[in-house]
């Protein structure tokens, strides 16, 4: 049993060993499929707690995992026999309305961030599910409703404070340790524990036009074809997602849904919403003026904590008629109603940046295809995961080599995953990893091996 006596003397947060009351609850993360038992959970209250936890792990030969929001579907926040650095107590958002910036604690969720920023009519690109953690989503990329207008979440990062492998604290920004700042924007948690983030904010809301509209599955081909045509001419103010889903009313009926957000002029947005409604026979209509904070929580109930999840993803550059047909056919045979396929359109500011401007390499215009296995009865696990893997394999004829790092599972080959996530940026990332974490202390991620 670990002796945490000395650590506990100065530690301001909470320490859980397997013998502690509350340990089993503390080790749970969002994905109910993940059932791992760390040797110690250190719920930190500040940077000093993080530093002490890192030093303790190194002194006791413990691997380190880091939990921000705990949303990563691969469960990388927690590992057996490790020290889990848990940032969930570090929820803070300080908005400087005059400078249009926000300083955010490492355990902050996007719903916390958006609530504070929207008090001043400000926002930045953030997760489309409000319970997602700010840190993990940002460092791995940062898909959100504002990404066509303002870029990925990481494109709005001004600085980040990290605890390094030796317990020291380093600030990474354009002016301070710029090589590290380049690397963490896309390189995830490979270089240190990110305890604080500074973001650029933009005037948004308090209302935007958006929401969800759904059509009968029999019209899926026509709806997806028209949705594709809209994506090809979409302005920066418009974010579009298409989803093959099952109706939430328990009927078991499959639907084709369109999720949209327009942050531009209401007159332009109304025209777009009318066009979307015209894609087919409307079965469900929740499109219209909506508070930006509400839009960012609209999908939360569809991704509840504790549900079992297994995801695969790829990126399709050109959504051909053949690809549309394949996706529809594959979902038609889906055996688990709560499984989904989402197509997230990438364009605008997120796709215009050069692929080597940050470590994040997926700078293409196209469609991120998320194959989502989600189930609530353990007996559905085999059917749900097999369908995800088979669908992923069947779509390989249409996809490109890059993949979105935050959706890559922990069961995939580590080297192949790194190539898919980082592409041509990987050699430089490996050099920076050697400089800042030569012993690969921070390895529970889409790992970058030191060169």
Beta bridge partners of 85: 42, 66
Q: How far does CA 374 lie from the centroid of its chain?
A: 16
The whole-number pLDDT of residue 330 equals 97
Q: Residue 433 in contact with residue 451, Cβ under 8 Å?
A: yes
Nearest in space to 237 (alpha carbons), one of 274, 276, 212, 265: 265
Q: What are the Cα distances from residue 151, in Å, to 196, 197, 275, 352, 354?
A: 20, 17, 25, 9, 12
Nearest in space to 85 (alpha carbons), one of 167, 140, 177, 199: 167
Task: Please name the residue that has the structure tokens 């997760």.
Answer: 127
The whole-number pLDDT of residue 368 equals 97
- Euclidean distance between CA atoms 438 and 40, whole angstroms: 24
Helices (H), 337-425: 349-352, 381-394, 414-422
Q: List, edge to edge, every strand of the sheet that includes 93-96.
A: 93-96, 101-105, 193-200, 157-163, 169-173
Query: In a 3-state reduction of DSSP, which class is residue 53?
Result: helix
Helices (H), 171-265: 178-187, 220-232
Q: Which residues contact 37 (CB under 8 A, 6 or more apart)?
A: 18, 27, 80, 81
Q: What are the Cα distances from residue 259, in Å, to 67, 243, 295?
A: 29, 8, 10
| pTM check: above 0.85 | yes
Condensed to tens digits (0 to 9), the pLDDT of residues 337-386 reads 999 999 999 999 999 999 999 999 999 999 999 999 999 999 999 999 99
Provide the greatest CA pair distance for the chain: 66
Nearest in space to 186 (alpha carbons), one of 247, 256, 139, 235: 139
Query: Domains along the chain?
Result: 10-86 (3.30.43.10), 93-204+427-436 (3.30.465.10), 207-407 (3.40.462.20)
Nearest in space to 212 (alpha carbons), one of 152, 279, 118, 149: 279
Condensed to tens digits (0 to 9), the pLDDT of residues 291-329 reads 999 999 999 988 999 999 999 999 999 999 999 999 999
The whole-number pLDDT of residue 448 equals 97
Q: What are the Cα distances from residue 225, in Å, to 219, 272, 371, 377?
A: 10, 16, 19, 34
Q: What are the Cα distances from residue 269, in Å, to 216, 263, 265, 437?
A: 24, 8, 6, 47
Per-residue pLDDT of the chain (451 residues; tens, 9 = 90+): 799 999 999 999 999 999 999 999 999 999 999 999 999 999 999 999 999 999 999 999 999 999 999 999 999 999 999 999 999 999 999 999 999 999 999 999 999 999 999 999 999 999 899 999 999 999 999 999 999 999 999 999 999 999 999 999 999 999 999 999 999 999 999 999 999 999 999 999 899 999 999 999 999 999 999 999 999 999 999 999 999 999 988 888 999 999 999 999 999 999 999 999 999 999 999 999 999 999 999 999 889 999 999 999 999 999 999 999 999 999 999 999 999 999 999 999 999 999 999 999 999 999 999 999 999 999 999 999 999 999 999 999 999 999 999 999 989 999 999 999 999 999 999 999 999 999 999 999 999 999 9
The whole-number pLDDT of residue 249 equals 84
The whole-number pLDDT of residue 395 equals 97
Task: Please name the residue that has the structure tokens 């940026």.
Answer: 425
Q: Which residues contact 55 (CB under 8 A, 6 or more apart)?
A: 167
- Euclidean distance between CA atoms 363 and 352, whole angstroms: 7
Compute the 3-state secondary structure of the chain and give helix, strand, coil in percent, each to the nearest 5.
Answer: 35, 25, 40
- Euclidean distance between CA atoms 14 and 9, whole angstroms: 11
């Amino acid at each position: 049993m670990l002796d945490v006596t000395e650590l506990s003397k100065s530690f301001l947060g909470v320490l859980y060993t397997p013998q502690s009351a509350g340990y089993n609850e503390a080790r749970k993360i969002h994905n109910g499929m993940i059932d791992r038992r760390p040797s110690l959970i250190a719920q930190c209250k500040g940077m000093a707690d993080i530093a002490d936890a890192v030093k303790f792990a190194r002194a006791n030969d413990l691997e380190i995992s880091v939990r921000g929001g705990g949303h990563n579907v691969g469960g990388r926040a927690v590992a057996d026999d490790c020290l889990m650095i848990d940032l969930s107590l570090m929820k803070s958002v300080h908005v400087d309305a005059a400078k249009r910036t926000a300083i955010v604690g490492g355990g902050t969720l996007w719903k916390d961030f958006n609530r504070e920023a929207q008090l001043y009519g400000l926002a930045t690109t953030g997760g489309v599910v409000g319970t997602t953690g700010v840190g993990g989503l940002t460092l791995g990329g940062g898909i959100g409703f504002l990404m066509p207008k303002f870029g990925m979440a990481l494109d709005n990062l001004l600085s980040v404070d990290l605890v390094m492998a030796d317990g020291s604290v380093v600030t990474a920004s354009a002016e301070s340790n710029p090589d590290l700042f380049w690397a963490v924007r896309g390189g995830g948690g490979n270089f240190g524990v990110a305890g604080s983030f500074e973001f650029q904010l933009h005037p948004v809301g308090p209302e935007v036009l958006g929401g969800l509209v759904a059509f009968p599955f029999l019209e899926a081909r026509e709806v997806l074809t028209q949705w594709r045509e809209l994506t090809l001419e979409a302005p920066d103010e418009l974010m579009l997602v298409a989803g093959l889903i099952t109706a939430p009313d328990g009927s078991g009926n499959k639907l084709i849904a369109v999720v949209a957000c327009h942050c531009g002029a209401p007159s332009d947005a109304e025209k777009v919403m009318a066009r979307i409604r015209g894609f087919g026979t409307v079965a469900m209509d929740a499109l219209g003026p909506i508070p930006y904070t509400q839009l960012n929580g609209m999908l939360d109930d569809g991704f509840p904590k504790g549900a079992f999840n297994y995801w695969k993803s790829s990126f399709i550059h050109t959504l051909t008629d053949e690809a549309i047909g394949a996706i529809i056919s594959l979902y038609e045979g889906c055996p688990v109603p709560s499984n989904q396929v989402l197509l997230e359109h990438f364009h605008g500011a997120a796709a215009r940046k050069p692929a080597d401007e940050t470590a994040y390499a997926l700078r293409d215009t196209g469609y991120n295809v998320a194959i989502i296995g989600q189930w609530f009865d353990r007996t559905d696990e085999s059917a749900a995961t097999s369908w995800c893997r088979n669908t992923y394999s069947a779509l390989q004829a249409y996809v490109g080599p890059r993949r979105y790092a935050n959706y890559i599972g922990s069961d995939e080959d580590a080297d192949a995953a790194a190539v898919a996530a980082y592409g041509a940026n990987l050699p430089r990332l490996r050099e920076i990893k050697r400089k800042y974490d030569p012993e690969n202390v921070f390895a529970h991620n889409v790992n970058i091996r030191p060169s």
